């Protein structure tokens, strides 16, 4: 059987690795971006000089040949599902038995005047990074970043590392408050400002002006202020990179539509990662989850589906993480911006440092539904178990030290959160567990009813 995977990002490469683990099928992995898989999430670190491109490769180059995974550095122009063939940009046709579409996303552009000028770009792939590097070498006196999301703040940090002044236009009245609750979002606002970034909240882009084909300034929509700049970063989200699929008879909406077996409307064709749109996601989850972890989990799942035709894709408990300049962020489970009816929240924030813990729970049953951490690391497996088992908030609090994943000698703040809970609820709970790996392992092995 010949399995062709289009795209060598985290989803495509994970699929390839797991198909190889499970079978001897012929595997071909095609990408027009790079010959071998690398980590897109590390693009910023290449620009900042923390790493070279080679450091960001997922595996050493020999790995793919050794595992008999053929890599092709080319672009797929067309899929012909009737003949089970794909066509590469040089005209080559390749026949598949199974096809996996894992082509990721592309940066959004919303038709702003001047958006195609030199020095105006998004940040998604290695080519974008090269353009950013070239623009920086030419000299940037100020960069304007449009959009207050994860890639926007990464871009701000990138320029900041090179002493390039940055203005950030954020449509919302607080950074990323479509995802972060107010306190956490405001902590990030303060931190952005502390880094000397010119943060403009409730501001949008009206137009980009140019001179000789290159950007020279932008005009803000609300203040109508004109800001001179040599670079404009458009980081207003991404959308599935599936234009080349549209000429085939595979059904698409925003992304390539798939069922819970990650199968598209055409048998033997699957889609995974950023470009896949689940027709019926789990309750409370989105159709398209354009994050690293989803890509990896789908990659593993599709391998199981193709090779064992048994398991379907399980979205599992939501988790994610990011870093806003120096503040690490982790989330497990459901944390909503506006508290839904019947959901309680317990929040503690460090009086002087950028650290916070939030736990959300159902008021009626008192079972926990989400953890949100700023500047503090929590253990994925422990939080996940509590969430899966709908554990009572008080049990969680008493054992919260099991979740702490900060390095040794760091202050532990579980007691502070507990104090907060006790004060609000007039209780007298105390911490029962210690932060100790042996106890964590015992806890993880203990069965559901303990």
Partner 1 sequence: MQPYKSIAISSHHLKEDLPFHQKIALSLVAIGALIQIVFWVGNITANAGLWLYSSLALIVGGSLWYFREQYKDTLPGIKNNGVLFASLTAKGTLAWMLGVVLTGFYVVLYWFPEYLGLGGDGAANSGLVALFDPLSMLLKGKPASQWFVYGTLYTLIIFLMGVKFIYKYRHNRYQVYRTMSIIFFQTAIAFILPEILVGLNLPYNDFKNIWPLNYYFFFDWHINDLIASGLFGYFVLFWGIILFLVVTPVMTYFYGKRWYCSWVCGCGGLAETAGDPFRQLSDKSLKAWKLERWIIHSVLIFVTLMTVSVLVTRFTGFSRIFGIDSYTLSSWYGFLIGAAFSGVVGVGFYPIMGSRVWCRFGCPMAAYLGILQRFTIKLPWFKETKRMSKFRITTNGGQCISCGNCSTYCEMGIDVKAYAQRQEDIVRASCVGCGICSAVCPRGVLRLENI
Ligand X SMILES: Cc1cc2nc3c(=O)[nH]c(=O)nc-3n(C[C@H](O)[C@H](O)[C@H](O)COP(=O)(O)OP(=O)(O)OC[C@H]3O[C@@H](n4cnc5c(N)ncnc54)[C@H](O)[C@@H]3O)c2cc1C
Residues that bind partner 1 (CB under 8 A): 10, 39, 41-42, 45, 48-52, 55-60, 136-137, 139, 161-163, 194-195, 292-293, 296-297, 319, 321-323, 325-326, 328, 330, 377, 379-381, 384, 405-410, 437-438, 441
The least distance separating ligand X from the CB of residue 248, rounded to whole angstroms, comes to 11
The least distance separating ligand X from the CB of residue 324, rounded to whole angstroms, comes to 11
Instruction: Choose from ligand X, partner 1, none: what does 151 bind? Cβ within 5-8 Å by kind.
Output: ligand X
Residue placing its CB nearer to partner 1 in the complex, 104 or 245:
104
CA pair distance 324, 329, nearest whole angstrom:
8
Q: Does 121 bind ligand X (CB under 6 A)?
A: no
Element (H, E) at 106: strand 105-107
Residues from 383 through 412 that contact ligand X (CB under 6 A): none
CA pair distance 192, 38, nearest whole angstrom:
29
Structure-block tokens of residue 71: 């890599």
Sole binder of ligand X in the list 99, 156, 229, 322 (CB under 6 A): 322
The least distance separating partner 1 from the CB of residue 331, rounded to whole angstroms, comes to 11
Q: How far is CA 230 from the centre of its chain?
A: 28
Q: Are 328 and 374 in contact (CB under 8 A)?
A: yes
Q: Does 11 bind ligand X (CB under 6 A)?
A: yes
CA pair distance 131, 119, nearest whole angstrom:
8
Q: Could you identify the residue written with the tokens 């793919």?
A: 64
Of 421, 376, 423, 422, give the one whose Cα is nearest residue 403. 376
Sole binder of ligand X in the list 30, 69, 258, 369 (CB under 6 A): 30
Q: Does 195 bind ligand X (CB under 6 A)?
A: no
Residues 6+ apart with CB under 8 A from 366: 392, 393, 394
Of 113, 26, 118, give the one whose Cα is nearest residue 70. 26
Residue placing its CB nearer to partner 1 in the complex, 283 or 408:
408
Q: How far is CA 180 from the centre of its chain?
A: 14
Residue placing its CB nearer to partner 1 in the complex, 98 or 379:
379
Sole binder of ligand X in the list 115, 189, 241, 263 (CB under 6 A): 241
Q: Does 80 bind ligand X (CB under 6 A)?
A: no
* Number of shown-chain residues binding ligand X (CB under 6 A): 37
Residue placing its CB nearer to ligand X in the complex, 95 or 202:
95
Instruction: Choose from partner 1, ligand X, none: what does 102 bind? Cβ within 5-8 Å by kind.
Output: ligand X
Q: How far is CA 159 from the centre of its chain?
A: 21
Residue placing its CB nearer to ligand X in the complex, 42 or 343:
42
Instruction: Choose from ligand X, partner 1, none: what does 106 bind? Cβ within 5-8 Å by kind.
Output: none
Q: Does 32 bind ligand X (CB under 6 A)?
A: yes
Sole binder of ligand X in the list 5, 7, 346, 384 (CB under 6 A): 7
CA pair distance 108, 377, nearest whole angstrom:
32
Q: Are 250 and 158 in contact (CB under 8 A)?
A: no
Q: How far is CA 351 from the centre of its chain?
A: 29
Q: Does 40 bind ligand X (CB under 6 A)?
A: yes
Q: Does 76 bind ligand X (CB under 6 A)?
A: yes
Instruction: Choose from ligand X, partner 1, none: what does 441 bind? Cβ within 5-8 Å by kind.
Output: partner 1
Q: Are 146 and 111 in contact (CB under 8 A)?
A: no
Structure-block tokens of residue 38: 């690398």
Residue placing its CB nearer to ligand X in the complex, 79 or 403:
79
Region of 9-17, 162-170, 197-205, 221-229 interacting with ligand X (CB under 6 A): 9-17
CA pair distance 439, 68, nearest whole angstrom:
42
Secondary structure class of 230 (helix, strand, coil): coil
Phi, psi of 220 (to 5 degrees): -80, 150
Give the bridge partners for 30, in sequence order. Answer: 6, 72
Q: What are the residues binding ligand X (CB under 6 A)?
A: 6-12, 30-33, 40-41, 43, 75-76, 102-105, 123-125, 150-151, 154, 241, 244, 273-274, 290-293, 295, 320, 322
């Amino acid at each position: 059987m010949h399995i062709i995977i289009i795209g060598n990002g985290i989803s495509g490469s994970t699929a390839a690795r797991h198909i190889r683990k499970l079978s001897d099928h012929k595997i071909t992995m095609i990408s027009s971006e790079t010959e071998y898989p690398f980590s897109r999430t590390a693009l910023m670190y290449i620009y900042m000089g923390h790493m070279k491109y080679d450091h960001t490769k997922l595996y050493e180059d020999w790995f793919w040949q050794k595992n008999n995974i053929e890599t092709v550095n080319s672009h797929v122009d067309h899929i012909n599902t009737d003949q089970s063939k794909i066509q590469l940009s040089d005209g080559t046709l390749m026949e598949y038995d199974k096809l996996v579409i894992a082509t990721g996303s592309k940066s959004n552009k919303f038709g702003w005047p001047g958006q195609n000028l030199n020095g105006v770009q998004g940040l998604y792939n290695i080519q974008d990074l090269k353009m950013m590097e070239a623009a920086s070498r030419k000299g940037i006196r100020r960069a304007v970043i449009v959009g207050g999301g994860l890639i926007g703040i990464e871009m701000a940090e990138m320029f900041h590392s090179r002493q390039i002044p940055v203005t950030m236009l954020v449509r919302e009245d607080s950074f990323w408050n479509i995802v972060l609750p107010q306190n956490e979002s405001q902590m990030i606002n303060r931190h952005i400002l502390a880094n000397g970034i010119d943060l403009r909240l409730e501001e949008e882009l009206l137009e980009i002006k140019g001179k000789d084909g290159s950007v020279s300034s932008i005009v803000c929509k609300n203040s109508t202020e004109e800001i001179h700049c040599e670079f404009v970063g458009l980081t207003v989200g991404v959308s599935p990179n599936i234009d080349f699929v549209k000429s085939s008879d595979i059904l698409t909406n925003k992304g390539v539509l798939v069922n819970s077996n990650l199968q598209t409307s055409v048998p033997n064709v699957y889609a995974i990662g950023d470009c896949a749109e689940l027709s019926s996601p789990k309750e409370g989850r989105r159709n398209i989850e354009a994050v690293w972890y989803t890509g990896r989990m789908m990659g593993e799942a599709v391998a199981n589906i193709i090779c064992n035709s048994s398991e379907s894709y399980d979205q599992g408990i939501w988790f994610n993480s990011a870093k806003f300049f120096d503040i690490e962020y982790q989330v497990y489970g459901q944390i909503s911006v506006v508290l839904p009816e019947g959901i309680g929240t317990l929040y503690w924030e460090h009086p002087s440092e950028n650290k916070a813990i939030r736990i959300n729970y159902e008021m009626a049953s008192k079972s926990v539904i989400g953890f949100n951490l700023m500047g503090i690391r929590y253990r994925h497996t422990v939080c996940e178990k509590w969430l899966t088992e709908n554990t009572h908030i008080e049990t969680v609090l008493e054992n919260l030290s099991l979740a702490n994943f900060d390095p040794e000698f760091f202050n532990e703040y579980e007691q502070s959160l507990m104090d907060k809970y006790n004060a609000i609820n007039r209780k007298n709970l105390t911490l029962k567990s210690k932060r100790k790996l042996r106890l964590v392992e015992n806890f993880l092995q203990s069965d559901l009813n303990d």
